[in-house]
Amino acid sequence: MSIFIEREKCVGCGRCAEVCPGNLLILRDGRAQIRDVRDCWGCTACVKECPREAIFYYLAADLGGAGGRLYARDTQDSLNWVMKWPDGSEDSILVNKKKANEY
Ligand code: SF4
Ligand code: SF4
Protein backbone atom coordinates (compact mmCIF):
# COMPACT_ATOMS: atom_id res chain seq x y z
CA MET A 1 0.00 0.00 0.00
CA SER A 2 1.40 3.31 -0.94
CA ILE A 3 0.93 6.53 -2.78
CA PHE A 4 2.03 7.40 -6.28
CA ILE A 5 2.88 10.88 -7.54
CA GLU A 6 1.86 11.77 -11.09
CA ARG A 7 4.70 14.19 -11.58
CA GLU A 8 3.30 15.63 -14.81
CA LYS A 9 0.39 17.05 -12.77
CA CYS A 10 2.59 18.45 -10.00
CA VAL A 11 3.08 22.21 -9.81
CA GLY A 12 5.71 22.10 -7.09
CA CYS A 13 3.70 23.88 -4.39
CA GLY A 14 5.29 21.76 -1.66
CA ARG A 15 2.10 21.29 0.35
CA CYS A 16 2.43 17.51 0.35
CA ALA A 17 5.95 17.72 1.76
CA GLU A 18 4.76 20.01 4.54
CA VAL A 19 2.12 17.58 5.80
CA CYS A 20 3.88 14.22 5.47
CA PRO A 21 4.44 13.06 9.07
CA GLY A 22 7.40 10.95 8.00
CA ASN A 23 9.12 13.71 6.04
CA LEU A 24 9.13 11.36 3.05
CA LEU A 25 8.33 13.83 0.30
CA ILE A 26 10.78 16.22 -1.29
CA LEU A 27 10.81 18.59 -4.24
CA ARG A 28 13.25 17.78 -6.99
CA ASP A 29 13.44 19.78 -10.19
CA GLY A 30 10.36 21.67 -9.04
CA ARG A 31 8.19 18.58 -8.58
CA ALA A 32 7.39 16.30 -5.70
CA GLN A 33 8.80 12.87 -5.27
CA ILE A 34 8.91 10.33 -2.48
CA ARG A 35 12.25 9.40 -0.96
CA ASP A 36 11.50 5.70 -0.53
CA VAL A 37 8.01 4.42 -1.19
CA ARG A 38 8.58 1.49 1.20
CA ASP A 39 8.57 3.94 4.12
CA CYS A 40 5.07 5.27 3.35
CA TRP A 41 2.39 3.95 5.71
CA GLY A 42 -0.50 5.30 3.71
CA CYS A 43 -1.88 7.97 6.00
CA THR A 44 -3.14 9.82 2.87
CA ALA A 45 -2.34 13.26 4.31
CA CYS A 46 -0.47 14.17 1.12
CA VAL A 47 -3.34 12.90 -1.04
CA LYS A 48 -5.76 15.21 0.77
CA GLU A 49 -3.41 18.17 0.63
CA CYS A 50 -2.51 18.13 -3.05
CA PRO A 51 -4.51 20.78 -4.94
CA ARG A 52 -3.87 19.17 -8.32
CA GLU A 53 -4.91 15.56 -7.69
CA ALA A 54 -1.32 14.69 -8.49
CA ILE A 55 -1.08 12.09 -5.73
CA PHE A 56 -3.18 8.97 -5.47
CA TYR A 57 -3.30 6.10 -3.04
CA TYR A 58 -3.29 2.55 -4.34
CA LEU A 59 -6.38 0.61 -3.30
CA ALA A 60 -4.88 -2.82 -2.96
CA ALA A 61 -6.80 -6.07 -3.17
CA ASP A 62 -6.97 -6.43 0.61
CA LEU A 63 -8.89 -3.16 0.70
CA GLY A 64 -11.27 -4.38 -1.96
CA GLY A 65 -9.55 -2.13 -4.43
CA ALA A 66 -7.96 -4.56 -6.87
CA GLY A 67 -5.92 -1.89 -8.56
CA GLY A 68 -8.16 1.09 -7.90
CA ARG A 69 -6.81 4.52 -7.19
CA LEU A 70 -8.00 6.87 -4.47
CA TYR A 71 -7.84 10.62 -5.15
CA ALA A 72 -9.07 13.56 -3.07
CA ARG A 73 -10.85 16.64 -4.38
CA ASP A 74 -10.80 19.30 -1.73
CA THR A 75 -13.13 22.27 -1.75
CA GLN A 76 -13.81 24.89 0.87
CA ASP A 77 -16.66 22.96 2.47
CA SER A 78 -16.16 19.36 1.45
CA LEU A 79 -13.66 16.66 0.78
CA ASN A 80 -14.57 14.31 -2.04
CA TRP A 81 -12.79 10.97 -2.00
CA VAL A 82 -12.81 9.65 -5.56
CA MET A 83 -12.09 6.01 -6.36
CA LYS A 84 -11.09 5.35 -9.94
CA TRP A 85 -11.37 1.69 -10.90
CA PRO A 86 -9.40 -0.23 -13.53
CA ASP A 87 -12.49 -0.46 -15.79
CA GLY A 88 -12.69 3.34 -15.96
CA SER A 89 -15.65 3.75 -13.61
CA GLU A 90 -15.61 5.97 -10.55
CA ASP A 91 -17.19 6.05 -7.13
CA SER A 92 -16.98 8.82 -4.60
CA ILE A 93 -17.58 9.60 -0.95
CA LEU A 94 -18.37 13.20 -0.08
CA VAL A 95 -17.41 14.39 3.39
CA ASN A 96 -18.75 17.67 4.75
CA LYS A 97 -15.69 19.13 6.43
CA LYS A 98 -17.75 21.31 8.75
CA LYS A 99 -19.50 18.22 10.13
CA ALA A 100 -16.51 15.87 10.08
CA ASN A 101 -16.74 15.23 13.82
CA GLU A 102 -20.21 13.78 13.37
CA TYR A 103 -19.05 10.86 11.18
S1 SF4 B 1 0.60 8.78 2.59
FE2 SF4 B 1 1.29 9.76 4.50
S3 SF4 B 1 3.24 8.76 4.99
FE4 SF4 B 1 2.81 8.31 2.83
S5 SF4 B 1 3.90 9.93 1.71
FE6 SF4 B 1 1.77 10.63 2.00
S7 SF4 B 1 1.80 11.87 3.88
FE8 SF4 B 1 3.72 10.64 3.82
S1 SF4 C 1 0.93 19.01 -3.21
FE2 SF4 C 1 0.63 18.16 -5.29
S3 SF4 C 1 1.13 19.86 -6.67
FE4 SF4 C 1 1.97 20.40 -4.64
S5 SF4 C 1 4.10 19.64 -4.67
FE6 SF4 C 1 2.84 17.99 -3.82
S7 SF4 C 1 2.30 16.68 -5.58
FE8 SF4 C 1 3.01 18.66 -6.39
Q: For the residues of 81-96, what is the DSSP string, one character each?
A: EEEE-TTS-EEEEEEE
Its pTM surpasses 0.85:
yes
Q: Which residues does the chain have with pLDDT short of 70?
A: 1, 63-65, 103
**pLDDT for position 75:** 82
Q: What is the pLDDT of residue 102?
A: 72
Q: What pLDDT does 74 receive?
A: 85
Q: What is the pLDDT of residue 103?
A: 60
Position 64 scores a pLDDT of: 64
Q: Quick one: which atom of ligand 2 is closest to the CA of 17? A: 6
Q: How far apart are CA 66 and CA 17, in angstroms?
A: 28
Side by side, the strands of the sheet bearing 68-74 are: 3-5, 55-59, 68-74, 78-84, 90-96
Residue 76 confidence (pLDDT): 83
Structural domain boundaries in the chain: 3-102
User: What ligand is nearest to the CA atom of residue 55?
Assistant: 2
Give the architecture (CATH level 2) of 3-102. 2-Layer Sandwich (3.30)
The residues lining ligand 1, judged by C-beta closer than 6 Å to any ligand atom, are 3, 19-20, 22, 24-25, 34, 40-46
